[in-house]
Every structure is written in structure tokens, then in C-alpha cells.
Structure 1
């Protein structure tokens, strides 16, 4: 049976470098950053968002665990008294498509409710069709849309 468990320092150390790298790649793929600047910008954002790692105030990082094995993670930021923001959900590749993402999303909603939050928001890259489908199936709606076109 799957559970959400507060991420510990060891898990955070294993997570953070991969997260920085993945975020940089996603920003490059989305056309937001150049490859040359991506890692530096990504590292800067994570350092600003999580200066104290798992102990950063108003941030809740969880490992998604199944049979004592970490299969992914989810991170909720409490933006204010009513709104939470899912900064990241990441299910390891070999566990994708097995329901862990859906499970983590439903569990983080319970965490948010227990924190007294009234709404959860998130960002999804436009090219991530799998995530978009998951969020739509969980009744998330588009509230903003940013579009771009490369001029050659």
C-alpha cells in the first residue's frame, strides 16, 4: 500500500540535484531558458525556494512510498492562509503509469485541507501532456495560459 511520508534529509539530498537538473531541462524544452544558463538559473530558484531544505517554513515535501521503497515525491508550498501551490510532483520513470501520481495528488489535497487551505494551484509545462491529463482527470482547471512562438 502506498503512503506519503515527510521527506527526510537523506531523501532530500538524493532528490535535489536531480530536481535541479530536471527543472533546467524542462525550462530549456519549453523555450524559457538557454542550455547555457539553465542549470545556474534552476539551482538559484531551488536555493531561494528551499533555503533550509525540508525544514523550510511553509513547504511540505513528501516521499511517495510503496512497500518501503520511494517511488516519487510531491512538494506543497503554503502560499498564504488559503492557497497552496504544488511546486513539484515527480514519480520515478519506472513507476510512472501505475497510479502513484494520482495517489500523491489526492493525498496532497488532504494535507492541504488539514492545513486549512481552500485551494491548490500548480504549474504544468504545455508539452507535458501526461501531467495535463492527470490534472484534468482530478478536476483541476486552467486558470491562466501563457503561449509563445519562436521567431526565426
Structure 2
């Protein structure tokens, strides 16, 4: 499995599905109780806060996870100061449990180190115990506890 930079067309398709998915997670976590509020927040976060310049947002790297010419997931990384933040990480359901998530995390570590980062952080909803187990298996620990999620961190050598 390798990380392949997303094209601008793929990115535009990704953003819409990411907003839908994120708004559903926000509802599931009970951070929001109304679908409209969750969707509005998710749209703002993706389109105005994080990807304020769309595909060309500086210091933001967006990848497809590719195995044998098939896209099996996505991951993106925001580089700020000396910390990389994994903003979204998804292995599609048909490909879960096959090591693609572990491979992607290992490759992201290398990319972060190459870019001078000293740590990687990410948010994980408390209800997503499968993801939390994967991150802990890879050396992530709690950096900050919040009401509906954790910020996990891994220090890089």
C-alpha cells in the first residue's frame, strides 16, 4: 500500500463526502443534537477553517491510500509549526483489518519527520474505539481529553 497525492478533482469529490461523514460523527458523539447544526459546523471547518484555499491550502497534504491500483482510503495531514495533525483518516470498510491503516500511519510518520515535525496529533471520537486501539498500538497517547473526543499524540524521534 502506498500514499498517492490526491488530484484536485478527487479532492473536490472527497470534501463533500468528508463533510457528510464528519457531520454524522458529530451527531453520534452528541457534540451536536441537530443535523443542520452538525452539517453547518462540518462545512465551516472543512471549507473555511482547514481548507481555506481549497486544494491549494498551504501546509496541507491530502493522500489516497492505494493498493494494487485501487483506492482503499484517504488520509490528510496539516503541518503547523513543528506538529503534524492528521485531520481525516479513513480506510474504506471493505479494506479494513488488512493492515492498510498501519501502513498509512507508518508512512505519515516518515512524511512528518521529513518535513521537520517533532510530533503527530489527531482527534478521535470517544465512541470510535476501533480507531483509538489502532492509534494506541502505534504509540499514540492522550494529549488532551475533551468532552466528546481525545486529542492523541505521538512524539517523533
Give the 3-state SS of the residue equivalent to 1:72 in structure 2. strand
Residues matched between the structures, number:
146
Structure 1 residue aligned with 2:2: 3
> Structure 1 unaligned runs (5+)?
none
Deviation of the 1:15 alpha carbon:
1.1
What do you get for the CA RMSD once the two structures are aligned? 1.1
Which whole-Å CA distance do the structure 1 matches of 2:126 and 2:100 have between them?
A: 21
Deviation of the 1:13 alpha carbon:
2.0
Which structure 1 residue ranges, 4+ long, deviate > 4 Å from structure 2?
none
Scaled by the length of structure 1, the TM-score of the pair is 0.92
Scaled by the length of structure 2, the TM-score of the pair is 0.89
1:51 aligns with 2:52: yes
Which whole-Å CA distance do the structure 2 matches of 1:57 and 1:36 have between them?
A: 29
Structure 1 residue aligned with 2:153: none
Structure 2 residue aligned with 1:124: 124
Structure 1 residue aligned with 2:74: 73
Matches within 5 A, 1:1-152: 2-33=1-32, 34-48=34-48, 49-80=50-81, 82-147=82-147
> Structure 2 unaligned runs (5+)?
149-157
